[in-house]
Structure 1
């Protein structure tokens, strides 16, 4: 046991000291506890607590929550661009800058902020549970919210920046669009006519995985690349492939088979005698990416 502890301590010494004092970044056991508690609440405790209760009316909170995440995601995108992606990165083999340069420190800050935002987004699923929308807690949703924050924590802890941060920036761009849609959908029936583009959110997510995979795949064709953490490259490529498959299946089930057509399309289908039916409501935080 002492040997395992020593190995762990030696391993953690390789982490980036610049991010050590940021909230949640002191120990992986803290975030592990948060994520395990999240899974337990979503799959067990929450549904049991809500079993004999009426669903909470969280419409006003959902509007504020979603538009807050729109603003936060926009800020994260801007910071990624200013910390490197528009101020010196080549968009090819970009190593992590471990110096005390202001731009390097800015990248550390936004890498942490991105990770922290993923813990804020756990609220998506809590909303499902409190509104008794447990059918929304799919494998894809739970996997995204529980496993990926754990991976991103390690990325920020050891390599905040460089080419491994590209997917985080793209993911934040997608979340601007996604949470804007959710904010409108939570605002009430008056905004339903503006939600015809529901289907395109999934399309944007699929494009995201293609762009991220193409960018990260450059690594495998470069004669040399000084990026310090090849393991992150492999994980990003694997995650991109897995999520492309999962979201492609989501697209097929939702739109090709007609289970989640937008309301306008659904009404047209009903008018034409189609058997496709929806309950006509749009809820916050449906399945989304990384």
Structure 2
């Protein structure tokens, strides 16, 4: 009886909470509730941390060079499409070049063409995070289990999960700045991985690999600095301050981790064994 009452209260709280969701996303794929996203992420975590390694334990690693090359370049194509046709066109035309101040930019909940373009690009960014889960699955199938670190799995799990809430409740405003930067970085990263997966004959074209960590560091500095403004502004009526704290916490955490890597890799001249080889990381 007590469990039944607790369940009923939880359902009532959920129904009350979901009433504040953005009605413009009614009927959109994966947007009905957080449970489909949670199920996908839960299945992903179970496979890459338990089921996958057990299935591969007594098997030879799969040779996935051609598949990985296709995958990496496909992701670059997707990221480029999002970046050039969506991020630059929609993010910029939906606010970042047409009125956003790069300070306290609130969410536009209207049904204007500009606001609806922003909603679409936020959903596309969220959906792209599910495609990137294949990164870890390839690690498992190739028996590169040392690359399936807590940090890697945490990053790939938390991004689509938190972005479901971002899209559902706050598709726009200053909370989208880090997505714009992240897509730019991903185009560069997956270009690197695509060339790398073609084989040793193409590695001579990867002379710029040492700059990848710098690019990632600049990304986190810009994200943390931009979102941190909310704590020093006198009055910012952004609708969901909790999202600002999550973005700031996430950006700060990865900034510290990458500064730690930078110190060991470039200041002390030592590579970290489980961090990114060749001066880069696939966690961002």
Is TM (by shorter chain) over 0.5?
Answer: yes
Matches within 5 A, 1:1-290: 1-76=7-82, 77-78=87-88, 79-255=90-266, 256-259=268-271, 286-289=281-284
Find the aligned partners of 1:219 and 1:89 in 2 and give their Cα distance: 15
Using the size of structure 2 for normalisation, the TM-score is 0.89
- Return structure 1 stretches of 4+ with deviation > 6 angstroms: none
Q: Runs of 5+ in structure 2 lacking a partner?
A: 1-6
- Single out whichever of 160-169 and 17-26 deviates more from structure 2: 17-26
Q: CA RMSD in A?
A: 1.9
Secondary structure, in 3 states, of the residue corresponding to 2:248? helix
TM-score by length of 1: 0.87
- Tell me by how many angstroms 1:249 deviates: 2.7
**Structure 1: how far apart are the matches of 2:147 and 2:207?**
20
CA contact (8 A) 2:213 2:281 kept: no
Select between 166-175 and 56-65 the one with higher mean Cα deviation. Answer: 56-65
Asked if structure 1 preserves the Cα contact closer than 8 Å seen for 2:106 and 2:237, the reply is yes
The separation in 2 between residues aligned to 1:286 and 1:61, in whole angstroms, is 21
Q: Distance in 2 between matches of 1:286 and 1:215?
A: 23
More deviation in 218-227 or 116-125?
218-227
- Output the CA distance in 2 between the equivalents of 1:181 and 1:44: 29
**Partner Cα distance (1:125, 1:100) in 2:** 38
Whether contact under 8 Å (2:106, 2:174) holds in the other structure is: yes
Structure 1, unaligned runs of 5 or more: 262-280
8 Å CA contact 1:140–1:287 kept in 2: the answer is: no
